[in-house]
Amino acid sequence: MALGIGIVGLPNVGKSTTFNALTKTQNAEVANYPFCTIQPNRAIVPVPDPRLDKLTALVKPEKEIYATVEFVDIAGLVKGASQGEGLGNQFLANIRETAAIVHVVRCFEDPNVVHVSPLPNPREDIEVINTELMLADLQQLEEKIDRLSREVKGDRKLQAIMDVALIVKDQLERGLPVSAYADMESEAYQALNREMRFLTGKKVIFVANVDEDHLVAENENVYVREVREIAAQHNGEFVKLCAKLEEDMAGLTDDERHEFLDSLGIEESGLEQVIHHGYHALGLISFFTAGPKEVRAWTVRRGAKAPEAAGVIHTDFERGFIRAEVIPYETYIRLGTESAVKAAGEMRVEGREYVVQDADVMHFRFNV
């Protein structure tokens, strides 16, 4: 299962350019007029992970398999989208399925690119999108509350869900996103969200799309600063990138790309940052499996115990879980091979209560 991230923003802010760069393909038509994206574009992309590469270099398997993220690129949203204005509304359903949102904000000035307003105005732009997302959530929730108010008479257990629904509705009416709800871990909220898939309940990664000149830290423009501030206020992640540049880099080899980034004084490409912030926002970590056939990265919740991690690979592994053999990543790299780790007595045998650590190299014993 790939982790899903939906890309939202006003028209012509660089969503499809970012999407194309992310997917290293050219399948989302990029054009200088609003509403260029008509059908949602989806792509599943590998999560770059230098640790996995290092492990692969040691193990020399037949295949190296990265964890994956699915990106969904939709048409730009405009004021009134939740009421059917523009083309955005019909695509919001595609965003509901995703786990997190990338909110692309225009921070570049280019008289040649048609835009809703002549100059970027991140605060206003973000506001427009957030309002539309909240209105879409509110609309859907009102219908749900109608249904619930009937159903709750026959099933008192639904009252807890109804209570949450009413609090969230009140919040939305006051202009607060669903994510402002205090107890998102509660069973009632989770049950409600499983059905509603609230747009404004998702983690957000704000992406400031700048032009080349403003990419380096010394030369940061006011727009970027504003997005960074707003991201912090919203408890969101923040990434600065130049979509155009990312797209150009998509054609380069890994080595060429790193050389290029070095010359700009940047460590990680904007796209790698988007993916990593996505992982972070969602509280996800990777663990690895390593054998002669394949070295592979898997995705699991931070805090997950060994049987849950086993279940990511196969449900049988979880059902019949006996134990996990674990080599911490650093140990593997230090000693170089699994047999060296075993010989040094550093391979650990862990049970059901073991909490998986980021980059653990794992092997599961099971019996079904």
From the list 12-20, 128-136, 246-254, 291-299, the region that binds Mg ion by CB under 5 A is: 12-20
The residue whose Cβ lies closest to ligand GTP is 76
Amino acid in the structure at residue 67: A
Among 3, 5, 8, 13, binds ligand GTP (CB under 6 A): 13
Cα–Cα distance, 234 to 115 (Å, whole number):
25
- Find the binding residues for ligand GTP in span 90-109 (CB under 6 A): 108
Which backbone phi and psi does 227 adopt, to 5 degrees? -65, -40
> Which residues, other chains included, contact 163 with Cβ-Cβ below 8 Å and sequence gap of 6+?
188
- Between CA 307 and CA 355, with CA 337 as vertex, the angle to 5 degrees is 20
Return the C-alpha torsion angle 314, 315, 316, 321, nearest 10.
100
Return the number of the residue (16 or 56) whose C-beta is nearest ligand GTP: 16
CB of 333 vs ligand GTP, minimal distance in Å: 37
β-bridge mates for residue 324, sequence order: 350, 364
CA-based end-to-end distance of the chain? 23
Indicate the SS3 state at residue 274.
helix
Among 17, 23, 89, 273, binds ligand GTP (CB under 6 A): 17
Among 53, 85, 97, 110, binds ligand GTP (CB under 6 A): 110
User: Binding marks (x or -) toward ligand GTP, 46..85, rule CB under 6 A?
Assistant: -----------------------------xx---------
Return the number of the residue (103 or 277) whose C-beta is nearest ligand GTP: 103
CB of 36 vs ligand GTP, minimal distance in Å: 4
From Mg ion, ligand GTP, none, which one binds at residue 209 (CB under 5 to 8 Å depending on kind)?
ligand GTP
- 36, HSE (Cβ side, Cα atoms, 13 Å): 19
- Find the binding residues for ligand GTP in span 239-298 (CB under 6 A): 242-244
Question: Are the beta carbons of 88 and 37 closer than 8 angstroms?
Answer: no
Q: Please report, as ranges, the residues that interact with ligand GTP according to CB under 6 A.
A: 9, 11-17, 30-32, 34-37, 75-76, 108, 110, 113, 209, 211, 242-244
Q: Please report, as ranges, the residues that interact with Mg ion according to CB under 5 A.
A: 15-16, 37
